[in-house]
Amino acid sequence: MQINKMNIAVPEVKQGIWLRDENRGTELYGKTVGIIGYGNTGSSFARLLQPFEVTVLAHDKYKTGYGNGYIKEATLEQVCEEADIISFNVPLTSETHHFLNKDFLSRLKKQPLIISACRGKVIATADLIDGLKMAR
């Protein structure tokens, strides 16, 4: 899923090509956004999503009681099954090192857009690249 097609549209416009309909993005409205890690960054991101009328499934291993309205506390399994977009907002620890790996990717029911708002080592890059190749 690609939310916008700016990487395609900008070079085309610079060349004088205007393909408005072909380069329309995907609306956030009605999507399900999974947030893994509901600390300062995750909760701030969730607040920014409110005007887009998305469902937010927030998962935090160490917090509870934060769900309200459009923000629903969720298990990691729920995020993997339902999210159209998944944002990682966890600190780098021994628990989160390579958290997004082949095992995590195999649990996904959809092909969500992945957002990393955390340290690079939270994502096993080679596994993500393999997953992207398989998704084609």
User: Can you give the chain as a three-state secondary structure string?
Assistant: CCCCCHHHHHHHHHCCCCCCCCCCCCCCCCCEEEEECCCHHHHHHHHHHHHHCCEEEEECCCCCCCCECCEEECCHHHHHHHCCEEEECCCCCCCCCCCECHHHHHCCCCCCEEEECCCHHHECHHHHHHHHHHHC
Distance CA 72, CA 56 (A): 6
Please list the residue range(s) of the chain that carry CATH number 3.40.50.720.
31-135
Please state which of the ranges 5-14, 30-39, 92-101, 113-122 shows the lowest mean pLDDT. 5-14
pTM: 0.86
If pLDDT is split at 50, 70 and 90, which confidence band does 97 have?
very high
- Tens of pLDDT along 36-95? 999 999 999 999 999 999 999 999 999 999 999 899 999 999 999 999 999 999 999 999
Indicate the fold that domain 31-135 takes in CATH. Answer: Rossmann fold (3.40.50)
Residues 58/35, Cβ–Cβ less than 8 Å: yes
